[in-house]
């Protein structure tokens, strides 16, 4: 049994400022060009105003790309296009600046941070600032065993909360959230299927690396088996994350909830972040008001989770690589919305 009272989040999390949003909508009516001419950029500007509690909207000047990393034991079943235990290579590519997310973050002027929660490598192989929140080395095979103990899940969840506080305290004004995992989309599929009450085949996608039909069938079977283990603990979100999530997913869930408490807006990336958001929504129903869906990855579990949370993706470019890449592509759009909302003149 977890010692963390998740019910507190439902009380602590408030919606973005509705009064400021109304003022932003009224101000938009007076701007050039006419309301509606900028399409969804208008909506984004008004959302930012409410999230910031300020009018006119302040520019997004200190965005942070935050990537939680972990390996999943279920990858040993051949459910992923990446090698089991391969998250270390993903992390190293980001740190070396040669991953898609690293390239885009550099181009867009966003600082990038990697948080190792359960990468299956010696901690000494990665920088200390990356590994200081690590809970364990790899997560359990969720088709036959728990990913974590409940105590480990709580440690990971609290680590995510701590990271959210660190970012808020440092002045981060927008987070682009992603994952660096191998097998993470399988765990995410289990969570989405369990929370949406659907079958494994409905939520089984091809993953960030792309898989063939045989691997897809293995993944579907793993989600089916994990789903049998998830259903009995649906009433306790910490037990659910322990049974069929993983340390990286538990940390992202804690991060999302505490970011909402701290009024920090977040752009979600792919299916893994969407699954964590869905768990977080079950904990605190107002939390999704602080999030944007950066992109539609084409994963059926992501689509189902976003639909359940009423989040409409900003982009749909077929980006499946994960690692925050798709959400990063949405960052300039959000920054453009802020600039337009703040700087367009009013009609005379």
Catalytic residue chosen out of the listed positions 29, 323, 343, 346: 323
DSSP codes of every residue in 111-167 = EEEEEEEE-SS-GGGS-HHHHTT---SSB--TTTS-SS-HHHHHHHHHHHHHHHHHH
Same domain, 171 and 263: yes
State yes or no: is 323 an active-site residue: yes
Same domain, 244 and 112: yes
Same domain, 80 and 52: no
- pLDDT for 209 equals 72
3-state secondary structure 267-327: EECCHHHHHHHHHHHHHCCCHHHHEEECECCCCHHHHHHHHHHCCCCCECCCCCCCCCHHH
Same domain, 47 and 149: no
Which region, left, alpha or beta, applies to residue 200 given φ > 0 means left and ψ of -120 to 50 means alpha?
alpha
- pLDDT for 127 equals 97
Same domain, 193 and 264: yes
Q: Strand, helix or coil at 99?
A: coil
75, 93, 143, 177 from 255: Cα distances, Å: 24, 23, 26, 10
* Structural domain includes residue 192: yes
Domain count, the chain: 2
pTM of the predicted model as reported, rounded to 2 decimal places: 0.96
Same domain, 72 and 44: no
The CATH number of whichever domain residue 174 belongs to comes to 3.40.50.10210
- pLDDT for 197 equals 96
* Structural domain includes residue 24: yes
φ, ψ of residue 246 to 5 degrees: the values are 160, 165
Same domain, 135 and 247: yes
- Residue 136: count other Cβ atoms within 10 Å of its Cβ: 20
- pLDDT for 286 equals 97
Low-confidence ranges of the chain (pLDDT < 70): 1-2
pLDDT in tens, 54-64: 999 999 999 99
* Helices and strands, number each (H, E), in the chain: 15, 5
Same domain, 152 and 54: no
Same domain, 238 and 269: yes
* Structural domain includes residue 1: no
Gap between the Cα atoms of 328 and 105, Å rounded: 7
Same domain, 149 and 269: yes
Cis bond upstream, residue 56 (ω within 30): yes
* Structural domain includes residue 2: no
* Structural domain includes residue 105: yes
What are the structure tokens assigned to 228, written together?
Answer: 């049998």
Range of the domain at 286: 63-332
């Amino acid at each position: 049994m977890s010692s963390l009272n998740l019910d507190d989040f439902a009380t602590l999390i408030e919606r973005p400022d509705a009064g400021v949003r109304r003022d932003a909508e009224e101000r938009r009516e007076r701007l050039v060009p006419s309301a509606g001419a900028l399409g969804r950029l208008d909506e984004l500007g008004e959302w930012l105003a409410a999230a910031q509690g300020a009018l006119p909207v302040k520019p997004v000047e200190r965005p942070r790309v935050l990537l939680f990393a972990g390996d999943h034991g279920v990858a040993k079943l051949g459910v992923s296009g990446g090698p089991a235990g391969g998250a270390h290579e993903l992390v190293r590519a980001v740190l070396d600046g040669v991953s898609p997310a690293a390239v885009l973050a550099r181009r867009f002027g966003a600082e990038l941070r990697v948080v190792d929660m359960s990468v299956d490598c010696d901690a000494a192989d990665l920088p200390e600032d990356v590994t200081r929140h690590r809970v364990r080395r790899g997560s359990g095979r969720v088709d036959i065993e728990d990913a974590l103990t409940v105590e480990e899940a709580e440690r990971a969840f609290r680590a995510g909360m701590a990271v959210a506080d660190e970012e808020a305290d440092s002045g981060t004004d927008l987070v682009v959230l992603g994952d660096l995992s191998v097998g993470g989309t399988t765990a995410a599929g289990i969570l989405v299927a369990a929370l949406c009450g659907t079958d494994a085949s409905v939520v089984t996608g091809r993953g960030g690396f792309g898989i063939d039909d045989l691997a897809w069938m293995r993944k579907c079977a793993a989600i089916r088996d994990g789903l049998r283990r998830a259903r009995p603990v649906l009433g306790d979100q910490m037990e659910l994350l322990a049974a069929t999530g993983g340390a990286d997913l538990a940390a992202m869930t804690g991060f999302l909830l505490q970011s909402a408490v701290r009024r920090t807006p977040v752009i979600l990336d792919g299916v893994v972040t969407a699954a964590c958001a869905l768990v977080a929504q079950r904990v605190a129903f107002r939390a999704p008001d602080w999030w944007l869906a950066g992109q539609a990855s084409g994963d059926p579990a992501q689509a189902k989770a976003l639909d359940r949370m009423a989040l409409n993706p900003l982009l749909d470019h077929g980006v499946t690589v994960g690692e925050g890449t798709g959400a990063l592509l949405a960052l300039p759009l959000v920054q453009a919305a802020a600039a337009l909302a703040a700087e367009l003149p009013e009609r005379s």
